[in-house]
Structure 1
Amino acid sequence: MFAQNGLEKRYYNNNKVESEVNYVQGVRTGEAKFYYENGNVKEELSYLNGRIDGLVKKYTKEGILFETFNIE
């Protein structure tokens, strides 16, 4: 489901959360998290005016942080 304003949560077929993304006036804004089907965090990042901005963290399926980088 698309959220015009607020938190949009998407789910896998197994009912585990696939993603959590905040929207303001239909634009991705603020912190977002993406998950593996096993429930572990896959990626954490932030949006500014609909674009990825700032620190991006990527994790393995086992939940181990393996990559970080900045996007400006």
Structure 2
Amino acid sequence: MGSLVPDIVLHLVRDATRIQFLYDLFFPCTSKSKSDPLGPGRQVMDKKLEKYEPLTKRQSRALVTPQLGISR
């Protein structure tokens, strides 16, 4: 429990410790969250991406939703 498991990680060739981009796929289930998957003020997105901060820089993380595509 508490492990970091992003859905897609792109890293440099021959150096898996240097992450270039990290994507977390998010498929909201309720009708309310489907209409606003990032949550009010993008709180849901910020909380989900915050957990990956130790792995990579902020601009290299993104949340992917069917409604909005890639959100950073």
* TM-score between the two structures when normalised by the length of structure 2: 0.31
Q: Which has the higher helix share?
A: 2
Tell me which of the two structures has the higher relative contact order, counting C-alpha pairs closer than 8 angstroms and 6 or more residues apart: 2
* TM-score between the two structures when normalised by the length of structure 1: 0.31
